[in-house]
Structure 1
Amino acid sequence: MRDFPTLKLDDLQSDYPGVFEGAKYVDVGIGWLPLIQAFVEEALAHDPALVVHEIKEKWGTMRIWCDTPVLRARLAKGKAEFKSGMTCEVCGAPGHIRRPPPDRMAWWRTLCDEHASPDQRSWGTRPQGPMYGYMQTRDGQWYRYDETTDSMMPSEPPAQWR
C-alpha cells in the first residue's frame, strides 16, 4: 500500500468516456494526473478511437498500456512516460527517480525533495543512461524527447544502436 494519494480508474472514466471503459486499472500517484490528461488529450486529437487498458508505476516511472496504431498518439504516450521520470508522483513538481542502494529492497520512486523521505534523499538520483529520452517506434524510427519544445523529435538511434 502506498503512503500517498493515488489516482484510480474511476477518477478518469467520467472525464474521458470510452477511453478507459475496458481498462483493468489505473494506480499511480496523483502528481502524474496532469501528464495523463496531457497524454489523453494529445493522443485523442490524433486517434479518436484511443483505448487505454491500464496505467501503473514500474521502476519509478509511469507505464501506459493502450491501443493505437497512430504514430502521433504513440509519441504522446512515450512523452508522458518519459516525463513521469522527472515529475514527483505525489505533487507534480519537478522530481528525480530515486533508486535504492543495491543492498536495499525498496520501490524506485520519482519524488521531489519535499516528498522524498530523508532516507530516500540519501539514495541519490538515478543517473541518466545512454537511452535517456529515446523511443523507438514499430517501424524502426527513433525519437527523442526535446525539453525545449516539449515534444518527441525524430532522432538518430542512440550511439550503441548505430
Structure 2
Amino acid sequence: MSEQVTGDAGRGDQIPGRLTEVGSGWHPLLMRLHSQLLGLAVDYRVEEFASRLGGLRLYLQDRFDSHGEFDGDWADTAGALVEVAEREAERTCEECAAPGRPRFHGDRHRTWIRTVCDRCHARPWPGGSGAPTCVRTSDRQVPERRPRPGGPRPRSVRRRPAE
C-alpha cells in the first residue's frame, strides 16, 4: 500500500495551516493538540477539519510503516488525543476561549449552532441578519407548498378487522 497525501497544500496539511477555519477561542487547544501530535509523528496530516454543529471535527490521515502495514498504535493514540480536543471544544467558547456551550441561533430557513460563552452569546452576531459570518449557511431554499391539483388528497380510513 502506498501512503496517500490529501488536503490542499495552500491551506496546510497540519493544524496551524487550518486555524482560520475556526474561531480564535479554539486556537490554544488546537495548538496544544498540534504539539502533542508532533510528538507522535512530525509528518502527521489532517484530512478534514471543520466546525460543525457547535463542535470541532478533525480527521487525521492514516499512517503506514515502510512495509505498507497500517500503524494501529499511532491511530489509537492520535485518535484519543483528537477525541479529547473535540470534547474540550464543545465546552470552550469558539470566540474567546472562556467556558461555553453549544447555542442555537436562526430562523425557520436556517439555523447555526456554535459553542459560545454567555458574554459572546449576548453580543449580536455580525452580518445584520444575526448570522455569524464565519459559519457556512445553506443556500437551499424551502420550497413553497402548493395546493394539489384536483383538491386535497383524500384521507385514508383504517378499518378494524371484522371479529
Shorter-chain TM range is 0.5 to 0.7
Residue 29 in structure 1 maps to residue 18 in structure 2? no
**1:46 matched to which residue of 2?**
40
Residue 66 in structure 1 maps to residue 60 in structure 2? yes
Task: With a CA cutoff of 8 Å and minimum separation of 6, indicate the structure with the bigger relative contact order.
Answer: 2
Higher Rg: 2
Per-residue deviation, 1:118: 6.8
Taking only the aligned residue pairs, the percentage that are identical comes to 25
**1:75 matched to which residue of 2?**
80
Per-residue deviation, 1:83: 0.8
Contact 1:87-1:96 at 8 Å conserved across structures? yes
Residue 114 in structure 1 maps to residue 123 in structure 2? no
Runs of 5+ consecutive residues of structure 1 not aligned to the other structure: 1-8, 121-162
Taking the aligned partners of 2:85 and 2:47, their CA distance within structure 1 comes to: 16
Q: Scaled by the length of structure 2, what TM-score is found?
A: 0.53
The C-alpha deviation readout for 1:114-134, integer Å capped at 9, x for no partner, is 1003789xxxxxxxxxxxxxx
Contact 1:28-1:56 at 8 Å conserved across structures? yes
**1:19 matched to which residue of 2?**
14
> What's the Cα RMSD here?
3.3
Residue 55 in structure 1 maps to residue 60 in structure 2? no
Identify the structure with the greater strand proportion: 1
Amino acid at match of 2:122: S
